[in-house]
Chains A and B, each alone.
Chain A
């Protein structure tokens, strides 16, 4: 698999739960992805231009700026917006939740609670999609 591949694109993990963020970080780091963690929306936006993530794993329920708002702002970024895949981490069970997610520019979602292999698979399919597009 991708393990140890130095060319893997950076991923930004945004979760206000430090433990969750840490678990995701470790799991993905072992698979070779460079990971940056942010614990709230502002932090995520502050590091966005520095990290230039290919994929953002974005928790929806965060105090302050929630995941939806962060998603919208990231997708509207003049240069980075078109080159980022945003995966919302939330239970989107209702139809209108998903429509809303589409409207804000989200590309995919992982249902909470998730298991790590599912999460990794979701990241992979979005990266594959991105490669196919470029």
Chain B
């Protein structure tokens, strides 16, 4: 049997003894400059280096790896260890080291050198690439996979219909409720789309689904052989049904507020196979065409909504839901947050309403109407001593019509300011707040902790209430980092004489957790739904006519 050689730059006793422990191994000490050449010699199975010279260490490890020889580094200190790991030495040990340890390291280096190497790199690549082929949330194939799959069918049947589903305002869901919520809404969407397609016959043709990893979906519809491609009429009809189906599923799983927030617009492109044009290019062009079509549909719809908003402002078509805020320990109602909603179906969601208002430069006017409506209900809806939480955008403070005299009993009003909107002129803003404060108004920071800014920006506003961002409350019972963050916020509030409000509490477990964490006030569907005297019937998702 041929001898295994450990090539090394050291001749210390511990290494000699270590090699003696290894059956059939021989030590071959060499001066560092000669190591490179010696690596090519017969029988060299491992390299052990102890040099503290970084460049010599690097070159010897690189040479060894080039020859497929695993390396063990004897490290004098933490820096040397870091370096060894960075250079991807198979093993390391702390100098001087015991013979037993060193021989173990040599063994493990040899094992790792054999077992890992390129095989490991392959496995890592696979884990990395796999997630690029299929969307982890929806399980839908990504675009390259879908194109690959439809290639053959497209060629055979000669035509392909691309449907581009643009889900407008999904990003808003993420902004308000956090990425976890959007993830779960996308999951619901994808599964709704899937079971819709399972049930739908669409002329027995093949439909492929892809997911662009953003908030849009793309369908490839290839007509089955012997069947004519779906007509425009059929596709319009199918998309209408799909929209209803998805909308209903989302409302069922995530509530009306979220369902009312988004719209689906479908654009379509009809492609015909052409051997002169590369198939991928044809498909990508088709996708672009369909996407543009969905966008122009969206534009038209927007113009219509601006008109709706103008009508709403003129006829004061805004109503207010009052969402109870309760004391965490007793569940007693502490106050109500006023949530303005549009009476028109297309403007139900306040986010949509304000989006449209921003486009049409009607923010102040809409804010005035919403405020007036909220204050109107104060005497009829609120019991004595209960507070009204009023959402006010920092922009509103620049509105000359918004002033501290607007309310007869300011001590019962809490003004909620969102942390999300950037406040430009801080000193001036604080000056305005002070005028309000002097009359007895109180302040709440809304969506606290939504940004990365932390507690400093909150302290600046000296709030009486800190309303935690919904994304921190969502599934807080299962995430210990969220619990830690909320705990920090409660401690901060206690130090600053403020109260913490957890909003978006939807499950018993969440309620229990925030109670245990010492949160003072709680708001959410688990305790109460928003109360409204004059709410119109829940609106189904809007259907865009293609």
A residues at B contact (CB < 8 Å): 16-19, 39-40, 42-43, 45-49, 62-64, 73, 76-78, 81, 92, 94-96, 98-103, 106-109, 122, 125-126, 129, 132-133
Contacts and interface: CB of A to CB of B under 8 A. Distances in A.
Contacts of B479: 102, 107-108
Given A17-B81, A108-B480, A108-B481, A96 B454 contact: yes
Contacts of B130: 77-78
> Which one of A18, A126, A129 has the highest number of Cβ atoms from chain B below 10 Å of its Cβ?
A18
Contacts of A19: 94
Nearest to A49: B127
Nearest to A18: B92
A107 B454 contact: no
> Which one of A42, A43, A47 has the highest number of Cβ atoms from chain B below 10 Å of its Cβ?
A42
A107 B476 CA distance: 10
A103 B81 CA distance: 31
Interface in B132-153: 134, 136, 139
Interface in B477-492: 477-482, 484-485, 488
B452 A96 contact: yes
Contacts of A46: 116, 120-121, 123-124, 127
Contacts of A45: 123-124, 127-128
Nearest to B454: A95
Interface in B239-278: none
Contact of B485 (A63, A95, A108, A133): A95
B481 A98 contact: yes
Contacts of A129: 477-478
A42 B478 contact: no
Nearest to A82: B136
B179 interface: yes
Contacts of B199: none
B455 interface: yes
A43 B116 contact: yes
A45 B124 CA distance: 6
Interface of B: 81-82, 85-86, 88, 91-94, 116, 120-121, 123-124, 127-128, 130-131, 134, 136, 139, 179, 449, 452-455, 477-482, 484-485, 488
A39 to B, nearest CB: 7
Given A49-B127, A63-B86, A77-B136, A42 B120 contact: yes
> Which one of B86, B94, B452 has the highest number of Cβ atoms from chain A below 10 Å of its Cβ?
B452
Contacts, number: 90
9 cross-chain pairs, A with B, having the tightest CB-CB distances, nearest first: A95-B454, A108-B480, A96-B452, A46-B123, A63-B86, A46-B120, A76-B136, A45-B124, A76-B131
A94 B452 CA distance: 10
A107 B91 CA distance: 31
B481 A43 contact: no
Contacts of B481: 92, 98, 101-102, 106-109
A42 B124 contact: yes
Q: State the majority secondary structure of interface residues on A.
A: helix
B111 to A, nearest CB: 13
Contacts of B91: 18
B136 A81 contact: yes
Contacts of B454: 94-96
Given A98-B481, A102-B482, 11 more contacts: A16-B85, A43-B116, A45-B124, A46-B116, A47-B123, A73-B128, A73-B131, A100-B452, A107-B480, A108-B481, A132-B478
A19 B85 CA distance: 13
Nearest to B105: A18
Nearest to A43: B120
Nearest to B120: A46
Contacts of B93: 18
A74 to B, nearest CB: 8
A103 B482 CA distance: 11
B65 to A, nearest CB: 14
Contacts of B455: 95
> Which one of B85, B88, B94, B482 has the highest number of Cβ atoms from chain A below 10 Å of its Cβ?
B85
Nearest to A106: B481
A46 B91 CA distance: 17
Nearest to B83: A63
Contacts of B123: 45-47, 49
Contacts of A103: 179
Contact of B127 (A39, A73, A108): A73
B136 A125 contact: no
A99 B179 CA distance: 12
Nearest to B480: A108
B478 A78 contact: no
Nearest to B132: A76
Contacts of B484: 98
Contacts of A16: 85
20 contacts: A39-B85, A42-B121, A42-B124, A45-B123, A46-B121, A46-B123, A73-B131, A77-B130, A77-B131, A92-B481, A95-B452, A95-B488, A96-B452, A98-B485, A102-B479, A102-B485, A106-B481, A107-B480, A109-B481, A126-B480
A12 B93 CA distance: 22
A55 to B, nearest CB: 12
A77 B488 CA distance: 31
A96 B485 CA distance: 10
A73 B127 CA distance: 8
Given A18-B92, A46-B123, A95-B452, A125 B480 contact: yes
Contacts of B449: 95, 99
Nearest to B78: A17
A95 B92 CA distance: 35
Contacts of B478: 107, 129, 132-133
Contact of B86 (A64, A95, A107): A64
B433 to A, nearest CB: 23
